[in-house]
Amino acid sequence: MAPPLKLFFDAACVRAVGATFAEVNPPFPLARFVAEATDGLDALELLGRGAHIADALARALPADRAEALAIVVASLDVPLALPAGGAMAPFAYL
């Protein structure tokens, strides 16, 4: 039996996603983002994990929505370096 999909959203996934933001925006607080996004992650189910990571990302991005959106859009051009990679990579955008 395959492992639950929720396990894809682990610390490695958080670091990979954070690295894309740090690459396009060097002031991005990568260490803080990873710490906040992984704190309590193991206790959450799939959608809870996505929301938890998204909340940490919202706190790490600039408060100015236009500036934050520009960083998010720019990060989409950076390939994700995920250990699982392959067909699971698009799920990182959840």
Structure-token pair, residue 8 = 């894809």
Condensed to tens digits (0 to 9), the pLDDT of residues 42-63 reads 999 999 999 999 999 999 999 9
Alpha carbons 50 and 30: distance in angstroms, whole number: 17
Burial class of residue 53, CB neighbours in 10 A (0-12, 13-18, 19+): buried
What are the tokens at 75? 């990060």
Mind listing the pLDDT tens digit for each residue in 16-45?
Answer: 999 999 999 999 999 999 999 999 999 999
Cα→Cα distances 93→1, 80, Å: 25, 10
CA distance 92 to 18: 11
pLDDT > 90: percent of the chain: 68
